[in-house]
Amino acid sequence: MAEVLSQQEIDLLLNQVKGGEETVVPETQEHQVLPFDFRLPNRISKNQLRTIKNIFENFSESLSSFLLSKLQTMVSATVASVDQIYYSEYVLSVSNPACLYTFDIKGTDIKGILELSPDFALCLVDRLLGGNGLGTKQSKVITAIEQKVLNVIVERVMLDLRKAWQVVGNFEFVTERFEADIDFAQITSHSESVLLISFEVLIGEQSFMMNICFATFAFDTILSMMTSKKLTTIRPGNYNGVKAQTIISNHLLKTYLPVRVEFGGAQISIDELMNLEEGDIIKMNTKIGDDLIIHIADKAWFSGRVGVVNKHKAIKIVQNILQNENQNKV
């Protein structure tokens, strides 16, 4: 059907013709063409991506709790992103040398890569061996000894992946080998799409990256199990909506700490020490009526006085030393 002109538009055209002016007909605006790459269809829908993200959020909480107890410092792991990209794009993003562990899901054709940034891997090794994680190393290559130390973390990651995916199915994640070069850890062709889950791991004030990459060409079996019924039970029943901070706090409240009472101190020479015999008396630097220092986990917290309660030796707290020190500093 032809477009109908309004009376105003007709009068405008007639005036332009009478005046001898050239009428410029505006070109019709073309529709914007959006490129579509047929080589990379989105195998995973947005709803399924949200489900996968929830699964890995549960995984990151479990991994944080494990690293907290293992490294004896504050650790926080969060999901940074969940993307579908070319495997070739992922290969270009991996550093060289790298810290890569290939794994597969037992009973399926699904293969994956666990990538720890070299700085993250070396920090874990340093802390697991008793360091503070701030050590420096000229070479970023992970040695055979360091690989053995990291196996503790990698095996726990595989276990936590299995627990996180139990809401979908009973999958067993098995580590295959360590690779320092991404070219030798190929899990699919470069033109295939992969599912990349990136994590940000905070250890104290240090920030590190960790990636888990899945080849999606065999992911259809797992995707078919993600029914709408199971989406509502995506969080494990043990959590019941409780925050990880609350769970950690409850565990800390049940932690036992050593208590030690210091009755006093003295200084003697080596010559006096060598001549000590049974029955000798060492004079302490405290009096009988002085308050004694109470140490909690090798730190002076309280002062108190000794006594007997129900025929048991006891000490009564009379002052909080640590609190008074903090107030004096302020």
* pLDDT value at residue 243: 60
Q: What is the pLDDT of residues 135-169, one digit of tens each?
A: 777 778 889 999 999 999 999 999 999 998 888 88
Domain 259-273+285-329 has CATH 3.30.1490: no
What does the domain layout of the chain look like in residue ranges?
46-253, 259-273+285-329
Distances (CA, A) of 191 to 34, 39, 92: 21, 7, 13
What's the gap between Cα 315 and its chain centre?
Answer: 43
Residue 236 has pLDDT above 50, yes or no: no
CATH of 46-253, one of 3.40.50.720, 3.30.230.10, 2.60.40.10, 3.40.1550.10: 3.40.1550.10
Checking if the pLDDT of 237 tops 50, the result is no
In this predicted model, what pLDDT tens digit does every residue of 161-213 receive, in sequence order? 999 888 888 889 999 999 999 988 888 888 888 899 999 999 888 899 999 99
pLDDT in tens, 206-232: 899 999 999 888 777 787 777 644 554
Phi and psi (nearest 5°) for 201? -110, 120
Determine the Cα–Cα distance for residues 326 and 291; give it in Å rounded to an integer: 20
